[in-house]
Amino acid sequence: MALRLARLLARIVLWFLIISVGLVVIYKFVPPPLTATMILDGNGITKDWESLDNIDHDMVSAAIAAEDGKFCQHSGFDQAAIEKALARNMKGGRIRGGSTISQQTAKNVFLWQGGGYFRKGLEAWFTVLIENIWGKRRIMEVYLNVAETGIGTYGVEAGAQRYWGHSAARLSKVEAARMAAALPLPKKRPVKNPFGFTRHYGNMIAARISTVRRDGLDGCVYD
């Protein structure tokens, strides 16, 4: 009985490895058609895939400024952020992961929303895969196309059309920063005419865009 169970588990692990690596390889070249988040969204789905070449550079810089200042320096995980998250988690409450853009992309494309150590473990596996198979430019391209940018809205192109009435190819610094400011809580933080924290945070991100460009913090996306 124990041997049969061990063989079954081995087969499950083997098939998981084959399928997960296969999907990552496919999505290196093909846009992910749907994600679990989209499927489970009761508000419908509005999305419009755009090549990174057609997304304003300011949007890339704003995402890095807001979500992951070390995007070009780490290999998928920000050790300092993880240690801070672990310290918070030891105090109880909602599990926090100190997620990088790479981790968020892995979660958004291959997994589901919500916490839990099991999902975080799968997220780590897919993060390693996309870092090594996709590379930084593809990770950023996929991230900006699948991230939720509003209620029932996915990707910065759909967000730009919804909020500003034009394509993501010509976002201003303020427009890009406000969309980036809402990324962590897109259903709760208003992008257009923000107020309070969201407006202040958006202004901070807009100011950081020049620093990101000056210091080459987005260089791995355009090299």
* pLDDT band (50, 70, 90) for residue 203: very high
Give yes or no for a contact between 126 and 20, defined as CB atoms under 8 angstroms apart: yes
Residue 97 reports pLDDT greater than 80: no
Contact between 108 and 37 (Cβ < 8 Å):
yes
pTM across the whole model: 0.92
Interior angle at CA 32, CA 133 and CA 182, nearest 5:
100
Beta strand pairing status for 46-47 and 153-154? parallel
In tens, the pLDDT along 111-169 reads 998 878 899 999 999 999 999 999 999 999 999 999 999 999 999 999 999 999 999 99
145 contacts 179 by C-beta, under 8 angstroms: no
CA distances from 78 to 32, 33, 127, 149, 185 (A): 25, 29, 12, 24, 21
> How, if at all, do strands 148-150 and 46-47 pair?
unpaired
Q: Which residues contact 205 (CB under 8 A, 6 or more apart)?
A: 62, 65, 66, 177, 180, 181
Find, among 207, 203, 211, 160, the residue nearest to 56 by Cα: 160
From the number of C-beta atoms within 10 Å of its C-beta (0-12, 13-18, 19+), residue 159 rates as buried
| Residue 40: predicted pLDDT | 93
Strand partners, 154: 47, 148
Contact 146, 41 (CB under 8 A): no
Query: What's the chain's average pLDDT?
Result: 92
